[in-house]
C-alpha cells in the first residue's frame, strides 16, 4: 500500500517547482492529474536530450519532474476549459498552481473561486516572491532567486565569479517545502474539515535553506564570503588534491583530525596547538591548508580514500553521474528505476510498512 493512496491532486503547474511537488505526491501514491495547456508544459521542449515514446517526443527534462502523473490538456482561457477544471477539483484534495499572483482570478480558478466549489480543497500557490510584498508581481526564476537569496554570494571560488548551484536547487527545494506544507494542511484538515491556501515563494524557500550560513551572518553581522569547496565552520572539510585528481575530506571533530594527520604521516600536526581544536583550525585555515595539500597530493585517490576509511575519517570521491549511478550504494538503494521502460530516479523515501508508486513514467502529451 502507498502512503497517499486515495488522495487526488490536480496540478496546474509548469516548469519545475510545482511539478516537483506533484511528482513527490505521485511517488507517495497520490493520483496526480496534470492540467496542461494544449501545447503542453514548456519543459516538454527543453531539450535535447529527448525521449521518443509511441510517437511522442518530449524532453528528458519533463520526464525528470512529472513521473507517475496522468495528463489532460485544457484551454482554461475558455468557459468550457474553466468548467473542466472546476469539475476536476470538485472531489480533489489538493490543487497546485504556479501562475503569477492574481493571474487565475479572471478565469475563476483562484483560491476563493475553487474554495466555494470545494471547501476541503488545499490550494497551493508557488510563485517567485509570494502573494505579498513589493516584488510579489515580478517573475521569479531559479537563477534570479539564487542571486537574490544570497546563495550565489557563498558559492564559488573566492577569487572567481559568484556561482549558481549545478541544478535548479531553489525550484527543487521549493517543491519539497510545498509538499511539506500540503501534508501539514492535510493533517490540519483532519481536525477542521476544511482546506486552506498555502502561499509558497521561491525566495522564501531559498532564504530558509541557507541554514548555518544564515546564522553565521545573523550572529556576527558579517556576510559570509565564497570559500570555494571549503566549509565556513569546519577545517579541513574541503576538496584536497591527490596525484590523480581530487577527493573530499570531511573532518567533523578533533579526534578525526588527529587520525587524518596520522594517515598523512604528519601526526605532529594533530598535536600542534594551532590546530588541535576546530576553532583553532578555522582561525589558521590558510596555513593548515598549505601544509595539508602537499601531503594529500602524494597519494593516489584510491590509496588515500582507503587509508582514511580504515581510520574512520569521513571522505569520498568526486563522482561523475555515471560513477554515482554505477556505485554499489546507489544500486543497493534502488534509486534508478525504469517505469514503462523509461529511465528515472525514484523518490528517496523508504518505509517499513508502505511502498512507493513507481510503475508509471511521465505522461505523454494528450492528443487534442
CB 121 within 8 A of CB 36: no
Cβ-based neighbours of 253, under 8 Å, separated by 6 or more: 278
Please state, for a pLDDT cut of 70, what percent of the chain lies above it.
Answer: 100
pLDDT reported for residue 91 = 98
- Three cell numbers at 60? 528528458
| Main-chain phi, psi angles of 320, to 5 degrees | -75, 170
* 171 among known catalytic residues: yes
CA gap 40, 228 in Å, rounded: 39
Please state, for a pLDDT cut of 90, what percent of the chain lies above it.
Answer: 99
Own/partner long-range contacts of 191-194 (Cβ < 8 Å, ≥24 apart): 193/120, 194/119, 194/120
pLDDT reported for residue 150 = 97
Over residues 327-365, the pLDDT tens digits come to 999 999 999 999 999 999 999 999 999 999 999 999 999
**181 has pLDDT over 70:** yes
Over residues 144-178, the pLDDT tens digits come to 999 999 999 999 999 999 999 999 999 999 999 99
pLDDT reported for residue 368 = 64
Residue with cell 523509461: 342
Average pLDDT for 104-118: 97
Over residues 248-268, the pLDDT tens digits come to 999 999 999 999 999 999 999
Q: What is the model's pTM?
A: 0.94
Q: Of 77, 65, 73, whose CA–CA distance to 27 is shortest?
A: 65
CB 228 within 8 A of CB 236: no
Q: One of 93, 171, 244, 328 is an active-site residue; which one?
A: 171
Over residues 117-133, the pLDDT tens digits come to 999 999 999 999 999 99
CB 66 within 8 A of CB 363: yes
CA gap 317, 240 in Å, rounded: 10
pLDDT reported for residue 19 = 98
pLDDT reported for residue 367 = 83
CB 316 within 8 A of CB 250: yes
Average pLDDT for 51-64: 96
CB atoms within 10 A of CB 100: 14
**116 has pLDDT over 90:** yes
CB atoms within 10 A of CB 198: 20
- Three cell numbers at 167? 541544478
Q: What is the mean pLDDT of the chain?
A: 97
3-state SS string over the chain? CCCCCCCEEEEECCCCHHHHHHHHHHHCCCEEEEEECCCCCHHHHCCCCEEEECCEEEEHHHHCCCCCCEEEECCCCCHHHHHHHHHHHCCCCEEEECCCCCCCHHHCCCHHHHHHHCCCCEEEEEECCCCCCCCCCCCCCHHHHHHHCCCHHHCCCCCCCCCCCCCCHHHHHHHHHHHHHHHHHHHHHHHHCCCCEEEEEHHHHHHHCCHHHHHHHHHHCCCCCCCCCCCCCCCCEEEEEECCEEEEEECCCHHHHHHHHHHCCCHHHHHCCCCCCHHHHHHCHHHHHHHHHHHHCCCCHHHHHHHHHHCCCCEEECCCHHHHHHCHHHHHHCCEECHHHCCEECCCCCCCCCCCCCCCCCCCCCCC
- Angle (deg, nearest 10), helices 301-310 and 254-263: 130
CA gap 66, 292 in Å, rounded: 46
| Main-chain phi, psi angles of 70, to 5 degrees | -105, 160
**Cα Rg of the chain, angstroms:** 24
- Three cell numbers at 343? 529511465
Amino acid at each position: 500500500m502507498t502512503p497517499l493512496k486515495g488522495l487526488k491532486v490536480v496540478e496546474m503547474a509548469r516548469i519545475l517547482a510545482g511539478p516537483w511537488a506533484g511528482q513527490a505526491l505521485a511517488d507517495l501514491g497520490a493520483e496526480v492529474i496534470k492540467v496542461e495547456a494544449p501545447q503542453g508544459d514548456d519543459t516538454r521542449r527543453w531539450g535535447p536530450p529527448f525521449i521518443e515514446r509511441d510517437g511522442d517526443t518530449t524532453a528528458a527534462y519533463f520526464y525528470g519532474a512529472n513521473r507517475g502523473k496522468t495528463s489532460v490538456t485544457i484551454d482554461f482561457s475558455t468557459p468550457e476549459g474553466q468548467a473542466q477544471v472546476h469539475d476536476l477539483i470538485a472531489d480533489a484534495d489538493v490543487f497546485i498552481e504556479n501562475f503569477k499572483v492574481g493571474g487565475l482570478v479572471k478565469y475563476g480558478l483562484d483560491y476563493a473561486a475553487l474554495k466555494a466549489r470545494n471547501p476541503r480543497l488545499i490550494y497551493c500557490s508557488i510563485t517567485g516572491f509570494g502573494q505579498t510584498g513589493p516584488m510579489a508581481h515580478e517573475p521569479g526564476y531559479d537563477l534570479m532567486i539564487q542571486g537574490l537569496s544570497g546563495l550565489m554570494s557563498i558559492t564559488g571560488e573566492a577569487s572567481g565569479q559568484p556561482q549558481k548551484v549545478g541544478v535548479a536547487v531553489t525550484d527543487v527545494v521549493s517543491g519539497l517545502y510545498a509538499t511539506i506544507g500540503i501534508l501539514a494542511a492535510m493533517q490540519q484538515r483532519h481536525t477542521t474539515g476544511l482546506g486552506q491556501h498555502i502561499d509558497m515563494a521561491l525566495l522564501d524557500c531559498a532564504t530558509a535553506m541557507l541554514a548555518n550560513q544564515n546564522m553565521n551572518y545573523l550572529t556576527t553581522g558579517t556576510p559570509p564570503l565564497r570559500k570555494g569547496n571549503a566549509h565556513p565552520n569546519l577545517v579541513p572539510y574541503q576538496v584536497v588534491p591527490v596525484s590523480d585528481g581530487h577527493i573530499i575530506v570531511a573532518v567533523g571533530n578533533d579526534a578525526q583530525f588527529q587520525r587524518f594527520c596520522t594517515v598523512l604521516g604528519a601526526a605532529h600536526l594533530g598535536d600542534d596547538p594551532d590546530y588541535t581544536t576546530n576553532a583553532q583550525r578555522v582561525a589558521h585555515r590558510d596555513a593548515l591548508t598549505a601544509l595539508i595539500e602537499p601531503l594529500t597530493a602524494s597519494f593516489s585517490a584510491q590509496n588515500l580514500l582507503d587509508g582514511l576509511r580504515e581510520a574512520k575519517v569521513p571522505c569520498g570521491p568526486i563522482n561523475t553521474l555515471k560513477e554515482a549511478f554505477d556505485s554499489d550504494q546507489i544500486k543497493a538503494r534502488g534509486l534508478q528505476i525504469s517505469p514503462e521502460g523509461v529511465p528515472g530516479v525514484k523518490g528517496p523515501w523508504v518505509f517499513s510498512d508502505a511502498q512507493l508508486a513507481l510503475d508509471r513514467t511521465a505522461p505523454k502529451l494528450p492528443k487534442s
